Amino acid sequence: MKLREMKLRVRELSEAERTTIEAWRGTRAGSVRLRDRACIVALSAHGWWVSDIARMVRVTPQVVREWIKRFNAAGLAGLQDQPRSGRPATYTSEQVGEVIAVSLLKPDSLGLPFGCWTLDRLQAYLNEERGLAIKRSRINELLVAEGLRWRTDETWFGERVDPKFAEKRGPSSRSTPPRLQPV
């Protein structure tokens, strides 16, 4: 038997698999990796050689063989990305939920002497009262990932939270020179 005759090919595709493969091949909105994998399977199903598929998709022949074998073994699910190992999560989902829940509470409802959270206040409360050692930058990442954004209660523009702010503020600083009145 010649080496060229031992061709690695995908198994026979069902009609549903063929439709899905063609849809993945033509998509521009989906994953580029998934599109390339679908292209590998489709070209193999049409009888292309591994080396030719590798040139067309711009990958190595080993990569083409790997995806064909995975598709033959697991079908469409074999073309999806598998979970990868990595650093384990630092905080459990319960701890993340606690950070989110506390950030949504009003601080004065917890008996704290202020009316709104800052990252520093939230970090101090979680560290001291809840025993959760977490950095302010990580708190911010968790809140942003949850779709929460900080809002300012007082701003230099627009209406202030305290309507009597101007009265309480008092006169301007003495370091500000008085305006000269025209004669």
- Give the pLDDT confidence score for residue 82 in this predicted structure: 84
Could you list the residue range(s) of the whole structural domain that residue 56 is in?
8-79
pLDDT of residue 138: 94
Specify the pTM: 0.48
Domain for residue 34, yes or no?
yes
Domain final position from 79, 107, 142 = 79
Q: pLDDT tens across 100-154, in order?
A: 999 999 998 999 988 888 899 999 999 999 999 999 999 999 998 888 877 655 4
CA-to-CA dists, residue 167 to 114, 162, 179, angstroms: 21, 10, 21
Measured CA to CA, the distance from residue 153 to residue 143 in angstroms comes to 18
Identify whether the C-beta of residue 134 lies closer than 8 Å to the C-beta of residue 99. yes
Residue 174 domain-assigned (yes or no): no
Residue 43 lies in a domain: yes
More confident residue, 54 or 165: 54
Longest Cα separation, the chain? 111
Same domain, 51 and 104: no
Number of domains observed in the structure of the chain: 2
Please report the pLDDT score of residue 18 as a whole number. Answer: 94
Can you tell me the mean pLDDT for 58-69? 95
Confidence of residue 156 (pLDDT cuts 50, 70, 90): very low
pLDDT at 2 over 50: no
Task: Give the mean pLDDT of 32-54.
Answer: 94
What is the token pair recorded at 84?
């990868």
The more confidently predicted of residues 169 and 135 is 135
